[in-house]
Amino acid sequence: MGQIQMWRTIPLHQIIYRLIELNKGPMLEKDLIRKVESVVDSLDMRDFYRSLLELEIRGKIHVKEIKKGQRLITFVKEEETFLAVTED
The count of domains in the chain is 1
Task: Give the list of residues 6+ apart from residue 14 with CB closer than 8 angstroms, or none.
Answer: none
Structural domain contains residue 85: no
Q: Which domain holds residue 24?
A: 12-75
CATH number at residue 58: 1.10.10.10
Q: What is the pLDDT of residues 10-23, one digit of tens each?
A: 889 999 999 998 99
- Report if residue 54 sits inside a domain: yes
Q: Which strands form 27-28's sheet, in the order they lie side by side?
A: 27-28, 70-75, 61-67
Q: Is the pLDDT of residue 49 over 50?
A: yes
Q: Which residues contact 70 (CB under 8 A, 6 or more apart)?
A: 28, 29, 30
% the chain with pLDDT above 90: 57
Q: Which whole-number Å values give the CA distances from 82 to 4, 19, 26, in the listed order?
A: 40, 21, 15
In a domain, 86, yes or no: no
